[in-house]
């Protein structure tokens, strides 16, 4: 069986048997398409590829400038693919099993200072059309630490304005309930009552945030909204949705929130993912000590 047919069979397995998202399927396919192109250049078939060949492929990707984090993902994709094709006897041996992923670079997430967040939110004129919608979007990002996909996918039936909670579906189709702060709740309520009805069309879905045409907002459009609102507020630093999520977590930790609680709200499956914010907080504490201590 050709490598192309093996990949098609594997992607079908991810979609039908594993139920993984289309974005994950696309990410895997992009990795395997790169591998296919490399194999064609080397005139190799799937049965010709061993651990050394896969290591050579990873080395080529590294030379192309692929970051350590992306190389780690590539290794995972290769491992799950070869586990699949060897498990179904398309190839004799799982040659990807011995591969070691490169250590991740210690890159700490950025965050925005609280004063800049306030300037960003207060800079939106809610008396102008779309002002209430955009203020509600930004408030929700910062108040609840939602991912971009979760804001875009948020629906009316999953919003509990009275008790201040929203139910969202995150990575791996996992659902969680996240608190919505008072100011964010008020902003969303004002938008839903006063502005959203003007956007509703006959075929409009129950998504909370709508475009002027009545459809759900795309991730690209929400990114653009965040960027435009930051520029309008005179904020020099580059602002994007995930930066607001990082700021949500960082500010909670700096103000004494428990790491396990932050993990639950962010929807991290593993506490080690959340622990990166402890490094951010330590960096903040060190900077504060240096600035204010007589012998800092």
pLDDT at 241: 93
Tell me, yes or no, whether 260 lies in a domain: yes
Between the two ends of the chain, the Cα-to-Cα distance in Å is 66
Residues 138 and 215 in one domain: yes
Print the SS3 string covering the chain.
Answer: CCHHHHHHHHHHHHHHCCCCCHHHHHHHHHHHHHHHHHHHHHCCCHHHCCHHHHHHHHHHHHHCCCCHHHHHHHHHHHHHHHHHHHHCCCCCCCCCCCCCCCCCCCCCCCCCCHHHHHHHHHCCCCCCCCHHHHHHHHHHHHHHCCCHHHHHHCEHHHEECCCCEEEEECHHHCEEEEECCHHHHHHHHHHHHHCHHHHCCCCCCCECCECCCCCECCHHHHHHHHHHHHHHCCCCCCCCHHHHHHHHHHHHHHCCCCHHHHHHHHCCCCHHHHCHHHHHHHHHHHHHHHHHCCCC
Taking CA atoms, 57 is separated from 26, 74, 86, in Å, by 20, 10, 19
Give pLDDT < 50 ranges for the chain. 285, 288-289, 293
Distance from the Cα of residue 240 to its chain's centroid:
11
Tell me, yes or no, whether 145 lies in a domain: yes
Tell me, yes or no, whether 95 lies in a domain: no
Residues 82 and 122 in one domain: no
Determine how many CB atoms are found less than 10 A away from the CB of residue 75: 19
Residues 160 and 228 in one domain: yes
From 87, 106, 138, give the residue that closes a domain.
Answer: 87
Q: Structurally, how many domains does the chain consist of?
A: 2
Tell me, yes or no, whether 150 lies in a domain: yes
* Residue closest to 147 by CA, chosen among 278, 1, 23, 32: 23
Residues 166 and 218 in one domain: yes
Residues 76 and 160 in one domain: no
pLDDT 10s digits, 144-168: 999 999 999 999 999 998 999 999 9
Residues 128 and 32 in one domain: no
Give the CATH number of the domain where residue 175 resides. 1.10.443.10
Residues 265 and 200 in one domain: yes
What tokens were used for 43? 């005139």
pLDDT 10s digits, 37-69: 999 999 988 888 999 999 999 999 989 988 888
Tell me, yes or no, whether 205 lies in a domain: yes
Residues 196 and 266 in one domain: yes
118 forms beta bridges with none
Residues 184 and 55 in one domain: no
Tell me, yes or no, whether 272 lies in a domain: yes
Give the CATH number of the domain where residue 77 resides. 1.10.150.130
Q: Which residues contact 151 (CB under 8 A, 6 or more apart)?
A: 137, 140, 141, 209, 222, 241
Tell me, yes or no, whether 104 lies in a domain: no
In this structure, what is the dihedral angle of CA atoms 137, 209, 133, 167, given to the nearest 10 degrees?
-50
Residues 127 and 83 in one domain: no
Domain range for 56: 3-87
Taking CA atoms, 245 is separated from 46, 140, 230, 250, in Å, by 42, 10, 15, 9
Residues 253 and 167 in one domain: yes
* Residue closest to 224 by CA, chosen among 129, 284, 148, 282: 148
Residues 33 and 140 in one domain: no
pLDDT at 289: 46
* Residue closest to 141 by CA, chosen among 125, 127, 121, 162: 121
Catalytic positions, please? 147, 171, 242, 245, 268, 277
């Amino acid at each position: 069986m050709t490598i192309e047919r093996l990949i098609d069979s594997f992607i079908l397995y991810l979609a039908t048997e594993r139920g993984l998202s289309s974005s994950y399927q696309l990410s895997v396919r992009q990795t395997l398409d790169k591998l296919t192109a490399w194999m064609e250049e080397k005139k190799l078939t799937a049965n010709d590829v061993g651990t050394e060949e896969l290591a050579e492929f990873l080395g080529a990707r590294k030379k192309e400038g692929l970051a350590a984090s992306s190389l780690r993902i590539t290794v995972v994709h290769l491992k799950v693919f070869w586990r699949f094709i060897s498990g179904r006897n398309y190839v004799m041996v799982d040659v990807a099993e011995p591969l070691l992923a490169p250590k991740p670079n210690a890159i700490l997430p950025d965050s925005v200072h609280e004063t800049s967040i306030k300037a960003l939110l207060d800079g939106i004129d809610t008396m102008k059309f779309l002002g209430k919608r955009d203020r509600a979007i930004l408030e929700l990002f910062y108040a609840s630490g939602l991912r971009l996909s979760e804001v875009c996918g948020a629906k009316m039936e999953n919003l509990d304005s009275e008790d201040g909670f929203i139910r969202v579906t995150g990575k791996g189709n996992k659902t969680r309930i996240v608190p919505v702060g008072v100011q964010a709740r008020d902003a969303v309520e004002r938008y839903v009552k006063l502005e959203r009805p003007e956007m509703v069309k006959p075929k409009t879905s129950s998504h909370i945030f709508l475009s002027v045409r009545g459809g759900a907002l795309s991730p690209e459009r929400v990114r653009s909204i965040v960027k435009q609102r930051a520029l309008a507020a005179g904020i020099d630093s580059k602002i994007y949705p995930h930066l607001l999520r990082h700021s949500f977590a960082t500010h909670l930790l700096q103000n004494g929130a428990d790491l396990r609680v932050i993990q639950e709200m962010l929807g991290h499956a593993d506490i080690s993912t959340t622990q990166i914010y402890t490094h951010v907080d330590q960096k903040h504490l060190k900077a504060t000590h240096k600035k204010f201590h007589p012998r800092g």
